[in-house]
Structure 1
Amino acid sequence: MSGTGAETGAAVLVAGISALDVILALPELPGAAAKYRADQGALAPGGCAANAAIAVARLGGRAWLASRLGDDLVGDLVVKALAEEGVETALVHRQPGARSSFSSVLVDAAGERQIVNFRGTGLDACAGWSGHVPAVRAVLADTRWTEGAAEALRLAQARGIAGVLDAEPPIAPELLDLASHVAFSRAGLAALSARSDPAEALAEAMAGRAAWACVTDGAAGVYVLSGGEVEHLPAFAVEARDTLGAGDVWHGAFVLRLAEGAGEREAVRFANAAAALKCTRFGGGLGAPGRSETEEFLRERGQWN
């Protein structure tokens, strides 16, 4: 696995959920109430925001993570692992008496995963932290923490920087109005539009909103809505080993390239490459690639494949 990113890179604020993932690899996902033996296992930070922050750090950026954890052992493990990855954790709130989120994740031989998540208890809204955010060049927020996402996106608006929403269901409408960029998952888009055609669904979900928007669809690539037109940008074909955290890595790579001044189309291409590389590695978000290997992957693949 790659090392952490350079501290001199573009700074990004990532706001959202953090958890601990217990990841186990099996030949196939269980279908019966019985005992099973894993081929491989890992303990890793999990959750949309934590995984994205790790991706930012590994890709050469400086990630500031705003999140909520309990003052328990799970929280201790998550913060320690994030710090070891070079993620800034000063904005991670440790709630006294609260229990941190954790997940059991099973991954089959094809890289598909099955997740059972405990969301945690006693984690309050924890507003007011945005006044302590240093200079950053872009913001990424996920929908798992509505109050935190709204605060982060308002900060982006106030500072005139990109505010990217990782749009997984459930999606509070106010977050769509606050974001400058909305990146839906297929499930997130389906929650707002019943249309099967991605172009039509994007147009319906974003009607009346000026934000740039896209929907990520795994191996099917990304559909982008910009200026009323929809473009399909294909994914890079790889042999998947573990898809856990691939979407989070995508969002981290995308927001980092925006922070570095890249246009959206180039940021999508870079994010597609980072997510593809992650899918070839076991370990959830800890499979996020480094900057040099991502750029080398892009050079080898040339233009859109």
Structure 2
Amino acid sequence: MKHKVVCSGIAVLDRVYSFERLPLTPGKHIARGYRENGGGMAATAAVSIVALGGRASWFGRLGADATGETLLGMLRRLGVEADGATIVPGGQSPSAGVTLDAEGERVLCVYPGSNLPEEAPIPPEALDGAGAVLADPRWVNGAEQVFAMARARGLPSVLDAELGPSHILQRLAPQAGHAVFSERGLVDFTGIAEPEAGLARAAATLPGIVAVTLGARGSLWWQRGDIVALPAPRIVACDTTGCGDVFHGAYALALAEGADTLPAARFATAAAALKAANGNGWEGMPDRAAVEALLREAW
């Protein structure tokens, strides 16, 4: 049986320009490569869930434009259920410019779209058969809808607490059963730069599981009044774009399958590491066999 996760949030068309080194000065810079990939936190998480052997339904808002049509086609081709997306005539779909260096580091400039209604609906029956939900902070109303429905059904709920306006994270994090911050998102939420201190502050105010991801340094988890550090495996990164989104998707899938917090986090760590090694946007998602093979190694 494939376990289902309902994902609410943003989908983005990434336009990726590759360089040997990231441009650091204004002016004209000649890229050595170009490609278009799917991106966006919730949509990327949904794609990763399917690649890892689960089912994913994505709910979000797109304009009735070429970018939105491209994104929907990508999602459906990769097995994500996207019939619940809200398509808005006159809306402009999200897109991003990404500069990428030879070490896999990147700079993203994200345009979140325009004329996309905050009040777009997610029907309650969307959660039929689901084992967990996931949401990002780019669509607040969508996150609140799936979190409320998950609470009513007793399902795990995961917030991808990426960087964003503090008031949005303050609003959404208490509604999630699992608030998993990026390092910058935790700073936005707490105002504290040091991750351990920031995690302790967040845990003092939030009712559920609280964690922070730290990229190649692994992640920190608040467990029974203490911090548990989970390391990440050493890999050669090709492209770190979307790795945090893959982490959240894999974590939500593991919860839907019944895993406890720390085993789910280790599963997610392996999936994110393999995504960094693979690169190649949505086409580079690791499969279940690769993740399970990495989990058998000591790291």
TM-score (norm. length: structure 2): 0.95
Residue 212 (structure 1) aligned to one of 204, 209, 212: 209
**Separation (CA, whole Å) in 2 of partners of 1:112 and 1:124:** 33
Partner secondary structure for residue 129 of structure 1: coil
Matched with 1:4 is none
Matched with 1:175 is 172
Matched with 2:280 is 283
Does the 8 Å CA contact 1:14/1:52 hold for their aligned counterparts? yes
Counterpart check, 1:151 vs 2:148: no
**Separation (CA, whole Å) in 2 of partners of 1:82 and 1:137:** 20
Q: Give the CA deviation at 1:202.
A: 1.2
Question: For residue 142 of structure 1, what is the amino acid of its counterpart?
Answer: D
Deviations 1:274-300 (A, max 9, x none): 10011112323432211111111222x
**Separation (CA, whole Å) in 1 of partners of 2:15 and 2:71:** 12
Q: Give the CA deviation at 1:214.
A: 0.4
Give the alignment's Cα RMSD to 1 decimal: 1.4
Matched with 1:257 is 254
Does the 8 Å CA contact 1:199/1:225 hold for their aligned counterparts? no
Does the 8 Å CA contact 1:246/1:285 hold for their aligned counterparts? no
Counterpart check, 1:14 vs 2:7: yes
**Unpaired stretches in structure 1, ≥5 consecutive residues:** 1-7
Q: Give the CA deviation at 1:136.
A: 0.5
Question: For residue 154 of structure 1, what is the amino acid of its counterpart?
Answer: A
Q: Which deviates the most, 193-202 or 264-273?
A: 193-202
Q: Give the CA deviation at 1:39.
A: 2.9
Q: Give the CA deviation at 1:152.
A: 1.0
Q: Give the CA deviation at 1:33.
A: 4.1
Q: Which deviates the most, 85-94 or 118-127?
A: 118-127
Does the 8 Å CA contact 1:58/1:291 hold for their aligned counterparts? yes
**Unpaired stretches in structure 2, ≥5 consecutive residues:** none
Q: Give the CA deviation at 1:38.
A: 2.9
Counterpart check, 1:131 vs 2:131: no
Identity over the aligned pairs, expressed in percent? 39
* Corresponding pairs, count: 295
Does the 8 Å CA contact 1:70/1:97 hold for their aligned counterparts? yes
Counterpart check, 1:274 vs 2:271: yes
Q: Which deviates the most, 199-208 or 19-28?
A: 199-208
TM-score (norm. length: structure 1): 0.93
**Separation (CA, whole Å) in 1 of partners of 2:100 and 2:3:** 33
**Separation (CA, whole Å) in 1 of partners of 2:32 and 2:277:** 16
**Separation (CA, whole Å) in 1 of partners of 2:283 and 2:222:** 30
Matched with 2:230 is 233
Partner secondary structure for residue 280 of structure 1: helix
**Separation (CA, whole Å) in 2 of partners of 1:135 and 1:38:** 46
Matched with 1:221 is 218
Does the 8 Å CA contact 2:10/2:61 hold for their aligned counterparts? yes
The 1:204–1:78 alpha-carbon spacing in structure 2 relative to 1, beyond 3 Å, is same
